[in-house]
Amino acid sequence: GTELRETKGPPRFTVKIDENLSSSNVKIDEQRIGQHRMTFLISGNGKALANSQLIQDKAYFEVKVTKPGNIGIGVSKNTKNHLNEGVGQDQESWGVLFTGRDGPSIYKVAQGTVIGCLFDQSDVPAMISFTKDDRPIDGAKVSGMKGSVVPAISVSGGAEIEVIFDSQLLEYNPP
């Protein structure tokens, strides 16, 4: 008989949170969705970097808050130098801190909040901007990145998040 088989194409490159580029105090759980899709559940303390340099003009990823705490979102040089510091708290990463209701940041999040991170190097200077539940966040823009960078997140204070790189799994369309 004839049966349908899934065609085997070249293996897809999957952008991942890279355990080798993450603090040993960060817990990373890959959530597989079907054969090729995944998201990443992140908790603990420290920084976690993705395995892919941002070479395209624009890149977008989302962070869904499972449990509020201190959540840094942005980009970093591809280095292990500052993995125990928050994103944007050292000379080799750039980003914004989001916190729960009582946290130190002016940018507040709650359980279920979706933060979009848009990295745009189509113009000079390169810029990171953010959305909260699909609305632009006024004032939350970061520039000053030089050289190659990768997506970066950091967690502390009990924060738990889900990081989504796969365009098919995003909650919102990129801005």
Query: Do the beta carbons of residue 152 and residue 95 sit within 8 Å?
Result: yes
Q: What is d(CA 39, CA 158) in angstroms, rounded to the nearest whole number?
A: 20
What contacts 65, CB < 8 A, 6 or more positions away? 71, 98, 109, 110, 111, 112, 113, 114, 115, 159, 160, 161
Tens-binned pLDDT, residue by residue, of the chain (175 aa)? 445 444 455 556 678 999 999 999 999 999 988 877 899 999 999 999 999 999 889 999 999 999 999 999 999 999 999 999 999 999 999 999 999 988 888 999 999 999 999 999 998 899 999 999 999 999 999 999 988 999 999 999 999 999 999 999 999 999 8
